[in-house]
């Protein structure tokens, strides 16, 4: 059995999502940087690996509600879940957040000039995510679903028009990094989403909604980068071998 230290942070969370809370505590990115080993991640963040490993082992043993075992799901089911859960959330959350941020930037921007940068970063990330999700829904996910049908039916495998499934996956991962880096900067500018003492109710709600959006983004990207995409690449390899 591979020790925790030698596993990637993405694979640890893929096995049990309770690990995500521990990684969040130390600002360790298990989504876009999910291929980093636990040992490497600790060195980058200057975290005591023995302490982190102990906290992980404790968290993974804690009783309570079991997290969904997404790693056992078929790729087409993962596509359906991501679309109906995370894509839908993003579509609904963006307009409301845009209104909140526009208002607080207009009202409080003079005293808190960082709000303009927060609003700009969110707007860029939001537009990128909208285009990103459309490409997944129209190109990548249908190709994955077609591979599942081929595997179940035993039909001959014909590569998609864009070549290997790894081509759109690589693009999706790059776009994940774009959105992830934007929200990392937003978290820094907002002091980890802590509103100032003079912040009004809308100010506080805006920061709470931004943090909720980032947390959903982490779960969304984790499901794709660490579970769905590796499954799709392996399925294509098996189908190509015949």
The residue ranges of every structural domain in the chain are 4-61, 70-241
Residue 167 sits at the vertex; the CA angle it makes with 151 and 71, to the nearest 5 degrees, is 50
What are phi and psi for residue 8, nearest 5 degrees? -80, 155
Lowest mean pLDDT among 26-35, 171-180, 211-220, 226-235: 26-35
Tens digit of pLDDT for each residue in 6-33?
889 988 888 887 888 888 888 888 888 8
Write the CATH number of the domain with boundaries 4-61. Answer: 1.10.3910
135 Cβ neighbours under 8 A, 6+ residues apart? 168, 171, 172
pTM of the full predicted structure? 0.85
Q: Mind listing the pLDDT tens digit for each residue in 72-98? A: 999 999 999 999 999 999 999 999 999
Dihedral of the alpha carbons of 14, 20, 26, 31, in degrees to the nearest 10: 50
As beta bridge partners, residue 37 has 8
């Amino acid at each position: 059995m591979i020790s925790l230290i030698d596993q990637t942070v993405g694979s640890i969370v893929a096995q049990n999502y309770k690990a995500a809370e521990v990684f969040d505590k130390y600002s360790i990115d298990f989504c876009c940087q999910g291929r980093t080993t636990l040992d490497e991640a600790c060195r980058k963040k200057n975290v005591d690996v023995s302490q982190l490993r102990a906290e992980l082992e404790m968290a993974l043993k804690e009783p309570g509600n079991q997290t969904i075992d997404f790693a056992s799901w078929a790729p087409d089911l993962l596509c359906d879940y991501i679309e109906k859960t995370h894509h839908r959330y993003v579509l609904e959350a963006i307009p409301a957040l845009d209104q909140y941020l526009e208002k607080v930037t207009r009202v409080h921007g003079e005293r808190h000039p960082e709000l303009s940068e927060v609003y700009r970063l969110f707007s860029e990330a939001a537009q990128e995510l909208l285009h990103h999700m459309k490409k997944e829904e129209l190109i990548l996910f249908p190709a994955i679903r077609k591979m599942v049908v081929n595997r179940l039916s035993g039909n001959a495998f014909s590569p998609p028009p864009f070549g290997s499934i790894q081509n759109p996956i690589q693009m999706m991962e790059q776009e994940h990094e774009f959105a992830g880096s934007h929200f990392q900067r937003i978290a820094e500018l907002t002091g980890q989403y802590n509103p100032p003492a003079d912040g009004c109710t809308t100010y506080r709600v805006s920061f709470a909604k931004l943090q909720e959006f980032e947390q959903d983004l982490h779960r969304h990207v984790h499901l794709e980068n660490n579970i769905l995409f590796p499954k799709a690449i392996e399925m294509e390899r098996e189908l190509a071998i015949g």
